[in-house]
A and B are shown apart, each in its own frame.
Chain A
C-alpha cells in the first residue's frame, strides 16, 4: 500500500513537473538567481517522504543542539569531489562544504549558486557565468574568477564524462566577475552536469587545486559552503563545523527549492560517524546515540517507522542495471537479449534484493529528474511472458549454452541474480552465477570472455548524457550505430525541448536494443529523531545545511 502511495506521489510530481516545465518554456537560455527563488515549493512531510521533499528549517534564532551525529556506513577514499565519484563523499561535502556555480532546483534544472547568472549563446557553443561578489572561502579569501577557472578546469580533467564531452575546451576568465567556456559541441546540458554530477564541480581556491597528494587528490578541502571541513579520523568520523563567515544567497526564511536557496546552518557541528554495520546504526538511533542513520535496511524500516520517537524517509537514489556483454557470447545476440528481458519479473527480482525498498519504472532516469521522465519503450518492460521469451530464444537460435551472470555480494546484487536464475531457467536458459566481491567484479567486467551479463547499480544523474552505459568503451560495450547516433543527437540538441524529445526516442530504442535492462529503481531509506527538522531530501540522500534539533 505504502509503495503504491509513493509511486502515485512520484507520478503526480512528474506530471506537475512536466506542466511547470511546459508553462515555463523549457528552452530558455538565460537563468538568474532571482529566477531560482521563484520556483516550486519543495516542502513535504517528514514521514514517508518521497524524492524532492524537505522539512522546514528551525526558525531563525532558535537554539539547536550543538552536534548532529549522523551514522554512515562507509567512508570515501578522498573528499576531493573533482576526482572521485563515491556517493558518500558527495553526500557529506556537496553543497555543505563545497558549492558550485549552479545547483539543481526541484525540477532538476540548473539554477545559480555561486554564479549570479549564466547565459548560453544562441548556437549553444558558449556558456558564460557572471559570478557573485563577496563570496568567502573557508580560508578567509574571497572567491575570484581565477579560483573558478582553476576549479572548473580541474573538474573537467578529473571527470571523464565532462572531458570526453568538452574535448580541449576549458574555462577562461573574461574579467574579474565573468568566466566562460566555448566548445565545438552543444553546451546545453553542461549546466545541469555542473549542478548535479556524480563528481560535483566544486569551487575551491586556485591554490588548493594545485596542492595535491601522491594520488592526485586535493590535500585541503576549502569550499564556500555553510560548513567547513574540520577533521577526518579514519574509520571513526568526519567532522564539519559551521563557517561563521558564510555568505548565503536566496531569501532568509524562504524554503529551499531542490538544493537551491538560503542555507542557515542552525547546527554548530555535523559529525558523520562511520558505523559499518547497519543493525548497529539502527540500534544507535533507537538508543539516542545517533540523530540520523543512513541506508536503513528493509527489515528495520517498518520497525523504525512504527517508533513514535523517529521519522523515516525514503527517496529514489538510483537505478539497477543488468548490463549485457555486447562484444561476444550470448549477450551479443539481440534476440537473446530480448528473450532475457521478456522472461524477467522485475518485481520479483527487486523484492529479492531490496525488500520493499524499490520502485518499479521503465524510465532509465530516476524520479528526482522530473523533466527527463518518459515511458518510451515501456511496452517491453517487466513482461514476464514465458511463451514469448521461448519464441525469442528460438529466433535467437539458442542451443542451450550457459548464460553467465557476474555479480557482486554488494547491495543485494547476488540476491537479484539468484531470482533471475530461476526465472531464466523457467524459459529454458541454462544459467551460471559468478558471485564475487565488488573489487573483483570491477576487474572481471573488463574482460569480455568472463561473462554474458553483470549486475550493477547507478546513482541518479541529472541528465541522461551521464548514463555511462551508452559509452562504447564502458564494460558492456554497446557498440551500435543507431544507438550512438541517437545519443550524439541528444548531446547536440540546442534547446531543452529538443533534448527531451531525443532522449525519449533514445530510451524507446534502448528497450529494443537493450544496452542494459533496467528492472527498476532502488530507494535510499533513512531514519532520524522526530525533533530533527530542516533535512533536505531533494536528491542523493539527506543534506543538513538547514537541519537542527531545537533545544526545548
Chain B
C-alpha cells in the first residue's frame, strides 16, 4: 500500500508540471491586461507601463513562469496583482466556504441518492421507480442556478426561513453557518444526487440479477437483508467512483452557485480573478484543483481495495 501511495504521489509530479505549463500558457494567451483592468479608463500608457514593471509583467514569459514556480516552492504562490495579498492567503481565506459547501452538498447528495436509488432498484417498474427516474432526469437537466433561484424564492422570499445569500463563518455560530450554506448546498448537491441516484439504481439492478443473490433469495433471506447486506456492498465500487467525481465536480464547479448565493469561495475568487486577469490567482487555483483531483482519485483507488479485496491496488 505504501508503495502504491508513493508511486501515485510521484506520478503527480509530471501531471502537475504539464498542468502548470498548460494553465500558465492559456492564461497568458488570453487577451487582457491586469494593469489596465486595475487602473481603469483614466490610466495613461505610462501608468500602465509603470505598473507592468512593478508587477514583473514586462519580463519574458519563460522568466515569469519560473518566478511563479519559485513562488509555489516558497509556499506563498506569489502576490495577487489585484489585492496585494499572497495568493496562498487568498486561497486559504476562500477555501473554507467552498470546502464546507462541497461537503454539505455531498452529504445531501448521498442522503438523497443512495436510499432513493436503492428503493428504485428494488421496486423496478413501479411508480416509485418511475418517480425516481423522473427526479434524476430533472436533477441532471435543471441548471443549478435555476434551482438556486427557485430555492431562494421559496425559502427566503416566501417563507423567510433561510437567508437568500451571504456567508456566515463557522466561528460565528454553527446554526447560522449551516443556514447560510444550506440553500447553495442543496442547489449544488441536487445535480450530483441525480447522477448518483441513476448510478446506484443501475449498479444495484445489475448486482440483484447475480447468481449469488438468486441463491440468497432461494435460501429465504429477507429482501431487506439481501439489498443492504449482500447486494449493496458490491455496488460500493461504483458509488465510491461517483462520489469521488462529485467531490471534484463540486469543488471545481461551485462558481455559479457561489456567485448566485454570494458565497466567497474559491469559485467566486476564480471568476473575479479571471475578470481582472489576476494571473497568479487563476493559475494557482487551477493547479490546486488539479492536485485535489489527483488526490481524490488516489483515495478512490485505495478505497476500491478496501471495499472489494479482489481489486489489488498494489
Contact = CB atoms under 8 A, between A and B. Distances in A.
A374 interface: no
A381 B84 CA distance: 46
Which residue of A273, A277, A286, A443 has the most chain B CB atoms within 10 A of its CB atom? A277
A280 B260 contact: yes
A160 B164 contact: no
A234 B157 contact: no
Contacts of B124: none
A442 interface: yes
B54 A215 contact: yes
Which residue of A234, A438, A468 has the most chain B CB atoms within 10 A of its CB atom? A234
Interface stretch (A55-63, A78-86, A538-546): A78-86
A198 B41 CA distance: 10
A289 B33 contact: no
A444 B31 contact: yes
Interface in A75-131: 77-78, 83-86
B131 interface: no
A233 B31 contact: no
Interface string A437-456: 11110111000000000000
A348 interface: no
A140 interface: no
B163 A214 contact: no
A168 interface: no
A198 B42 contact: yes
Nearest to B89: A234
A401 interface: no
B32 interface: yes
B32 to A, nearest CB: 3
A402 interface: no
B268 A443 contact: no
A289 B164 contact: yes
A321 to B, nearest CB: 11
A85 B41 contact: yes
A253 interface: no
Interface string A254-265: 000000000000
Contacts of A78: 38
Interface string B61-99: 000000000000000000101111100001001100000
A70 interface: no
B291 interface: no
Interface stretch (B43-51, B219-227, B239-247, B306-314): B43-51
B156 interface: yes
A284 B156 contact: yes
Contacts of A275: 165-166, 262
B33 A84 contact: no
Contacts of A514: none
A85 B31 contact: no
Contact of B94 (A160, A216, A235, A276): A235
Given A77-B82, A284-B164, A437 B33 contact: no
A442 B264 contact: no
Contacts of A83: 39
Contacts of B47: 160
Interface stretch (B195-203, B207-215, B272-280): B272-280
Nearest to A436: B31
Contacts of A34: none
A169 interface: no
A214 B79 contact: yes
A276 B167 CA distance: 13
A77 B45 CA distance: 19
Nearest to A280: B165
A234 B166 contact: no
A164 B44 CA distance: 10
Contact of A443 (B36, B93, B272): B36
Contacts of B85: 234
B51 A215 contact: yes
B102 interface: no
B149 A279 contact: yes
B167 A236 contact: yes
A280 B40 contact: no
A288 interface: yes
A364 interface: no
B204 interface: no
A91 B100 CA distance: 33
A438 B30 CA distance: 12
B15 interface: no
A213 interface: yes
B31 A443 contact: yes
Contact of A442 (B32, B79, B163, B167): B32
Interface in B103-141: none
Nearest to B145: A277
A284 B38 contact: no
Contacts of A458: 41
Contacts of A199: 42
B160 interface: yes
Contacts of A213: 84
Interface string A460-503: 00000000100001000000000000000000000000000000
B261 interface: yes
Interface string A264-275: 000000000111
Contacts of B51: 215-216
Contacts of B84: 213-215, 217
Contact of A84 (B39, B45, B94, B156): B39
Contacts of B40: 84-86, 198
A273 B166 contact: yes
A277 B42 contact: no
Contacts of A416: none
Interface in B247-292: 259-262, 264, 268-269, 271-272, 274-277
Nearest to A456: B41
A283 B90 contact: no
B129 to A, nearest CB: 36
Interface string A417-450: 0000000000000000000111110111000000
18 contacts: A84-B39, A85-B42, A160-B43, A198-B41, A198-B42, A199-B42, A215-B38, A216-B50, A276-B271, A277-B260, A277-B261, A284-B163, A286-B157, A287-B163, A289-B165, A442-B33, A442-B36, A473-B44
Closest A-B pairs by Cβ, 8 of them: A439-B32, A235-B264, A85-B40, A213-B84, A284-B164, A160-B44, A443-B31, A440-B31
Given A283-B157, A439-B33, A443-B31, 8 more contacts: A160-B47, A198-B40, A217-B84, A283-B156, A284-B164, A438-B275, A442-B32, A473-B44
